[in-house]
């Protein structure tokens, strides 16, 4: 599957909720890091029902750079919903995702991009960032380690950190995945289940610029266990076609 001339080569997608303190700096940094590598970029920021003026904080950037656009959810729908909205709006074959709190270093994409061909879909359809130095505190760190251990053993996804926001993924692959509120935590598992390969890449995790975490350990654990059981059931009860049929077009440059 090749890219048509009217598409940007890459879209940077950020789903944000109440990140007014950090979002402008995050987008500016991503733009400054990636523009020297490629001019043909697009930036989509999905404001997921923020109440702190997140969308308004980007008004200046949107006015000065036509590559940047903001889509707003009227109410909060969750990170997976924000990613899905952005994926539907995007026109590039590949999407680079990151969070809006400043913890993700966009320089990680400079290590990810050489691993794929942005003009086609090959066997590898996902590059997943894995945080090597979590900055969220010990309780969050230990909870994440346990959750990742449990998920990895049940789903055999071999990804040590599915919660990292830094990912490089084929747009149509994400949209082919069954949608539910916690889909963003199971992207590597579904990538393998749908017949594609993925690569884990270590990335830097920085301190949050502003705002607060949207999750608690207890709330995440309760919802996560319920979601995990659902994903196990879904994968055992579904059969998928070959990857090229799944995406509705050819892979490895074929259309």
Tokens of 241: 């076609």
Is 111 part of a structural domain of the chain? yes
Is 118 part of a structural domain of the chain? yes
Is 5 part of a structural domain of the chain? no
CATH number at residue 237: 3.90.550.10
Largest Cα span, the chain: 49
Is 170 part of a structural domain of the chain? yes
Residue of higher predicted confidence among 57 and 161: 57
- 12-43, pLDDT tens digit by residue? 999 999 999 999 999 999 999 999 999 899 99
Question: Beta strand 167-170 with 94-98: parallel, antiparallel or unpaired?
Answer: antiparallel
- 152-191, pLDDT tens digit by residue? 677 878 888 888 999 999 999 999 999 999 999 999 999 9
Is 3 part of a structural domain of the chain? no
Is 255 part of a structural domain of the chain? no
The per-residue pLDDT for 60 is 96
What domain range includes position 211?
10-245
Is 204 part of a structural domain of the chain? yes
CA 66 vs. chain centroid, Å, equals 22
The per-residue pLDDT for 142 is 57
- Burial of residue 214 (number of CB atoms within 10 Å: 0-12, 13-18, 19+): middle
The per-residue pLDDT for 146 is 64
Is 158 part of a structural domain of the chain? yes
Our count of domains for the chain comes to 1
Q: How far apart are CA 231 and CA 212, in angstroms?
A: 28
> The pTM is what?
0.86
CA 93 vs. chain centroid, Å, equals 14
Q: How far apart are CA 34 and CA 10, in angstroms?
A: 10
């Amino acid at each position: 599957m090749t890219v048509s001339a009217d598409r940007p080569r890459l879209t940077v997608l950020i789903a944000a909720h109440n990140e007014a303190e950090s979002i402008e700096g995050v987008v500016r940094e991503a733009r400054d890091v990636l523009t020297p590598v490629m001019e043909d970029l697009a930036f989509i920021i999905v404001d997921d029902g923020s109440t702190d003026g997140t969308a308004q904080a980007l008004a200046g950037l949107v006015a000065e750079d036509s590559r940047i656009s903001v889509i707003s959810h009227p109410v909060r729908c969750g990170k997976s919903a924000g990613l899905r909205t952005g994926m539907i709006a995007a026109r590039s074959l590949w999407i680079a995702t990151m969070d809006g709190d400043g913890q993700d270093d966009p320089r990680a994409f400079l290590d990810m991009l050489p691993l794929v061909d942005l003009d086609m879909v090959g066997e590898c359809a996902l590059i997943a960032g894995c945080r090597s130095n979590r900055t969220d505190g010990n309780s969050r760190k230990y909870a994440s380690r346990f959750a990742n251990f449990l998920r990895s053993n049940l789903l055999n996804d071999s990804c040590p950190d599915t919660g990292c926001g830094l990912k490089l993924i084929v747009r149509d692959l994400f949209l082919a995945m069954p949608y539910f509120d916690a889909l963003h935590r199971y992207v590597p598992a579904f990538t393998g289940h749908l017949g594609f390969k993925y690569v884990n890449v270590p990335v830097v995790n920085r301190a949050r610029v502003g705002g607060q975490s949207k999750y608690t350990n207890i709330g995440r654990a309760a919802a996560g266990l319920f979601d995990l059981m659902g994903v196990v059931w879904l994968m055992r009860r579904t059969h998928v076609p070959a990857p090229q049929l799944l995406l509705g077009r050819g892979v490895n440059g074929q259309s």
